[in-house]
Amino acid sequence: MPTREAAIFPVTTNDRLLRAAKGAHVDRAPVWLMRQAGRYLPEYRKAREGRDFFDTCRDPDLVAEITLQPIRRFPLDAAIIFSDILVVPQAMGMKVEMVSGRGPVFPNPIASTADLAALIRPDVDESLGYVFEAISRTRTALGGRVPLIGFSGAPWTLMAYMVEGSGSKTFSMARAWLHTRPRESQNLLEMLTETIIEYLAGQIRAGAQMVQLFDSWAGLLGPADYRRHAFPHLVRIGEALKLQFPDVPLALFPRGAHYILEDVAESPYDVLSLDWTIDPAVARRRTRGAITLQGNLDPILLFAETRTIRESVRSMIEGFGVQRYIANLGHGIMPEHDPERVADFVRAVHEFSTDVNEKG
């Protein structure tokens, strides 16, 4: 199915992100930041004021406004649609609440075969159409300034929340399910996989120009379990999307799964997003230049002084190199971060990541 691309959206003038994702030459590394639209921005807090988190996600105009806020403030090379990975479990019929100071909570997590059977295989246009609508409006509002990124949670990470019921240090219940209810876990992961494929396809058709899978809890599984229970579903999602949208870059963030780098490099994904425990030069060596790398400054460094941020960005870029690279953090911006330090980060990337061939 064709995307709305040519038909209705202005031409994207800054295509650094898409070029880097596909391995084409860039004048300097593109840069965006995970959670760049969020609580650290006073204009975000103002826009959200008093509104429930998921209600905000369901208001396409407000989503477009929030998504554009960091683009107005910083010279970024991409916008990422403001939403949450847990809209998918919601679409499958689960109740999810965002509890202040605690994060997402499922009042009725999946605990039985009956709970599993009650899950809906959603019609994404119907139950997640609000995300597609928000993407189209945001894409129009961006006016071609930078590309728009869509995203979804990965099957394992969504299952982890759905079984555990909330964020957790260990997600013990969800991890135990993989071993105590292997068949049911597999069914749940497959249902999530097929839903995610349709959800991301819908995002792309609505105007998303790259999509990223967040496997936030990848690192809670050991290498054998991740390769057996989680990674095959990610490959399936990548293959299905490539078949429909061969030109749309796919990014994967397998947070904490340091052992999976080589596998991702040989998968359908174009971009491998790295957390801050991965040394840039080591990642480059292990992936043999077969994939674009994205990341990975420890967000804690945004609490440091400008000088320290600049030194860290320089050493990060020296490690990754400027080509086949997308500068980012190794995890999301925190609510306590100062927008001025975020500006320092973006400025340092601009300054230190200019292709040396262009300099001469």
Q: Active-site residue numbers?
A: 35, 39, 48, 84, 161
Q: Is 99 an interacting residue with respect to a copy of itself (CB under 8 A)?
A: no
Q: Is 340 in the site for a copy of itself (CB under 8 A)?
A: no
Give the interface segment with a copy of itself, choosing from 52-60, 61-69, 94-102, 293-301 (CB under 8 A).
293-301
Of the listed pieces 52-60, 154-162, 217-225, 235-243, which binds a copy of itself according to CB under 8 A?
217-225
Residue ranges with strand state E in 112-199: 148-153
- For position 279 contacting a copy of itself by CB under 8 A, the verdict is yes
Nearer to a copy of itself, 113 or 180 (CB): 180
Least distance in Å: CB of 223 to a copy of itself? 5
Give whole-number Cα distances, 104 to 89, 125, 159, 161, 162, in Å: 12, 24, 14, 9, 10
Q: Where does this chain touch a copy of itself (CB under 8 A) — which range of 13-21, 60-68, 140-148, 176-184? A: 176-184
Side-chain-facing half-sphere of 71: CA atoms under 13 Å:
23
| Total of chain residues touching a copy of itself, rule CB under 8 A | 34
Residue nearer to a copy of itself on the CB measure, 21 or 349: 349
Q: Of 308 and 354, which has the nearer Cβ to a copy of itself? A: 308
Nearest distance from C-beta of residue 347 to a copy of itself, angstroms: 18
Residues 294 and 289: their CA atoms lie apart, in Å, by 13
Q: Which residues pair with 80 in a beta bridge?
A: 149
Part in contact with a copy of itself (CB under 8 A); list of ranges 11-19, 137-145, 177-185, 193-201: 177-185
Distance between CA atoms of residues 206 and 228, nearest Å: 33
Site residues for a copy of itself, 108-167, by CB under 8 A, read 167
Element at 54 (helix H, strand E): helix 53-57
Cα angle value 184/95/160 (rounded, 5°): 40
Q: Is 257 in the site for a copy of itself (CB under 8 A)?
A: yes
Measure the CA–CA gap between 305 and 112, rounded to whole angstroms.
Answer: 50
CB-wise, 209 or 273, nearer to a copy of itself?
A: 273
Applying CB under 8 A, does 223 fall inside the site for a copy of itself? yes
CA distance 360 to 358: 6
- Strand 97-99 to 103-105 pairing: antiparallel
Report yes or no: 136 and 207 within 8 Å, Cβ to Cβ: yes
Residue 246: φ, ψ to 5° = -60, -25
- Tell me, residue by residue from 294 to 333, as one string, x for binding to a copy of itself by CB under 8 A and - for no binding: ----x-xx-xxx--x------x--------------x---
133: its two tokens? 């609508």
Q: Which H or E element spans position 326? A: strand 325-329
Task: Give Cα separations from 281 to 147, 232, 287 (angstroms).
Answer: 27, 27, 10
Residue 123 Cβ vs a copy of itself, minimum distance, rounded to whole Å = 35
Any contact of residue 219 with a copy of itself (CB under 8 A)? yes
- What is the closest distance, in whole angstroms, from the C-beta atom of residue 306 to a copy of itself in the complex? 12
Alpha-carbon dihedral sign for residues 330, 130, 159, 155: negative
Residue 243 interacting with a copy of itself (CB under 8 A): no
State the number of CA atoms in the 13 A half-sphere of 64 facing the CB.
16
- Stretch of 24-32, 194-202, 239-247, 272-280 lying at the interface with a copy of itself (CB under 8 A): 272-280
Please, what is the minimum distance in Å from the beta carbon of residue 326 to a copy of itself? 18
Instruction: Determine if 277 is a binding residue for a copy of itself (CB under 8 A).
Output: yes
22 burial class (0-12, 13-18, 19+ CB within 10 angstroms)? middle
355 binds a copy of itself (CB under 8 A): no
Question: Rule CB under 8 A: which residues touch a copy of itself?
Answer: 167, 169, 172, 175-176, 178-180, 219, 221-225, 256-259, 276-279, 282, 298, 300-301, 303-305, 308, 315, 330, 334, 336
